[in-house]
Every structure is written in C-alpha cells, then in structure tokens.
A = this chain, B = another copy of it.
C-alpha cells in the first residue's frame, strides 16, 4: 500500500481492474489502459466508449484500473476511511505507482504482453493521472490521452474565477435571460428565505424533500444549486446521457429553455429557476421531491474526492457574480484549511502538485494529448496550447467534459470527430515509435 517507504512492505490491497482481450493482437498489439479516477471503475468503463471503439483497429487489449480508495479498491477495507493512519495512503503519487506496478504485473501475466506498448487514457482527474503517468513513468507508458485534465487547476497557476466564468458562458450561449435569472436567484433566495413564511413558500414551490428550517438549509440549497449549474455545463453533451445525472440532449439548452421570464420579483425568479431545475433533478419524472441535502446523485465518490482535495488536489475556485452568475464567493484558503483539518485531520498542501508534476511547465514531456472542450469549466485549468512537437493541445469548441472519450454518436459535433482522429493518429505514431525502439523478436 506504500510504494515509497519501507515500513509496511507486506500490507497489500486488492485493486480492481477490468480487462477485455477480445481484440488484442498477441503479436505486439498495444495495451489501452484507463487510469481510473474518483469512483468505481465501472462508471469510467461505461463512459469511455472511445477506447472500446478503437480497440479493434489497433488490436488492443483494454484495461480499466480502479484508483485506490475508490469503488472496491479500498486499502484496509471498511477501516479505510475511518482514520488518518489508513487514509494517509490516498495520494496521486501512490495511485500512479499502483498503475505502474499493475502494468508491469500484467505484462508478465499475459503471454506476449511484454512486447505490448502501453497507451494510457483518462478523463478529468483520470486525465491528469494519464498525463502524469507518461511524465513520471515514460519507461512504462508510451503515450497518454489526457481528456479534460485540469493539470493546472492549482494555486497560482490559474485564476480561481475562470472556472465560474466558463460555466456562465456555457449558459450564456443558450440564453441571456437564463444567465440573468440564475445570477439574480441568489439574492432572491436570501430575500424569500429571510422569513419563515418565505422559507415555507420556497420549500413547497421547489418541492424540497426537507423543508427549509434553518440558515444551514438555505446555504445547503444554494450549494446544491451551484453544483447543478456546474454539472450541467460539464455534462452538456449533444445527446441524452447519464454521466453525472440522467439528462436530456443539450441539457443546458433544455434547462434554459423554460427559464425565459425575467422579472425583478424574487418569487418570479425562483419560479423560473425551478422550471429549469426540474429538467435536472427530475428528467426521469420519477423524483417525488427535490433532494438538495445529500451528496449529488452521481456515481463519483464525492467523499473520497473531498479527502483528496484536502491533501493535495487543492483547486481554488471563486466567483464574483459579475463576470459569472454565481453568488460572490472568494477563495478562502484559511477557511478551507480549517474545514479540512476538522473533517480529515489533514492540512491541504496548495503548492504540492505544482512541485511534483509541474503544472503547465512541462516542456520536456512527450507523447501526450491534452484535449479540452470549451463548454467544460475544467478547461480553465487545462493545457490549451501545444507544449512541443509531441505534447499537443486539442480544442473541442462544442465539447463538454471529456466528450471525446465517449462513444461516437450521431449528434457528435465535427470538432469531437476530428479530435478523435487526432487521438488515433498520435496513438499510431507512439506505437510506431515504440516498435522502432523495441522491435518484435524475429520468429525462427
């Protein structure tokens, strides 16, 4: 469980991985390896159809590896998250070493696999891991497709408000009124929720599962709302999908469509917001009420990610309500630190990831594609300019969060089709380069 110290060499953990060898060409066919991120690995296997789609033409083995402390791969089992002595081992460096070891192991286990070049894929945090895997273990992986990987979403590398601005601009593309209504909704909530009567009205009007009875409830509702707008921008795919939630095609458009009527009256604003909100929380029309208090209904593990964001994945986000439509909220490192210490007994190390991985400062790296969709707020911390001849930025103007890793769909915009072509061309290049440097043994 600890690759970098020698105190507990015998402590192991079971790491889950999924393998598909249907298309694998055993004479040197590549291994496509997904570097799992914050959730059960099945979620990523289901949302990364691109790897399966191109596996046949490359004769590739497809592997999805689960990240430690997620899904079924939790060191120390049920105790894993109970105490720092266990969850201290949750770190990206350890996860990369897990993958390095797993790949090394698989190359021994599968006959002939020792001649197979490894290409890593990942989206979001998984994309960061894919890129970093190539940067830190070029001896083990030949290239990386890093989709929507915010490798520079760290202190001092990206302004904290950029993320909020992109969410806003993704909504602004659909309608100005929608943006205005959302921007005004925060004050509207405050003014309505200032009285018991108002809280009662809002609880009914929005069909809240738990009525608003305290200030904390109101804050929780606003936090929920923020997350909804962010998730919608991230999942703004051109077809029906179920990534962060079951959503219709072009969900931002679908949500904004009913939010047309802007009036100054707080109640009107909130009624309009609810029309849009319903598309999000009740697209399946099975929700009896709006559950704003629990974790977002995603298959991502928000609890586990909260831990990581409290140690090393410190991603400062902020909003001013002017250039963006969120409630103004500065980034408060001190408060963040206190909350982290209270919850996990750890202190966030804001500059750590820059020191370990370099952020955007990776001129000597090679064989990485950084793809980013411009609808996706995480593109703020991404690499959107070519770094050198083989570390390339691919921009997908109509793309949301790692759209390019998903299966092809008829509704796909041209830009994502082209992005996938670039991916394939580069994977081909990397494999040829590997083959030149590591010729297959001659048959006798």
Contact = CB atoms under 8 A, between A and B. Distances in A.
A347 B8 CA distance: 10
A124 interface: no
Interface string A121-148: 0000000000000011111100000000
Nearest to A134: B364
B363 A437 contact: yes
A3 B101 CA distance: 19
A299 interface: no
Interface string A364-397: 1111000000000000000000000000000000
A140 B362 CA distance: 10
B355 A5 contact: no
Contacts of A357: 139
B138 A6 contact: no
A413 B94 CA distance: 46
Nearest to A8: B88
A357 B104 CA distance: 13
A84 interface: yes
A220 interface: no
Contacts of A4: 2-5, 91, 93-94
Within the oligomer, what is the number of copies of this chain?
2
Given A139-B361, A362-B138, A364-B367, A355 B7 contact: no
B6 A139 contact: no
A244 interface: no
A311 interface: yes
A265 B97 CA distance: 57
Contacts of A3: 4, 93
A90 interface: yes
Given A139-B362, A355-B140, A364-B366, A5 B89 contact: yes
Interface of A: 2-9, 84-85, 87-91, 93-94, 97, 100-101, 104, 135-140, 311-312, 346-347, 349, 351, 355-359, 361-367, 437
16 contacts: A4-B4, A4-B91, A4-B93, A4-B94, A5-B88, A5-B91, A6-B90, A6-B311, A7-B89, A138-B364, A138-B365, A139-B357, A139-B358, A139-B359, A139-B361, A363-B437
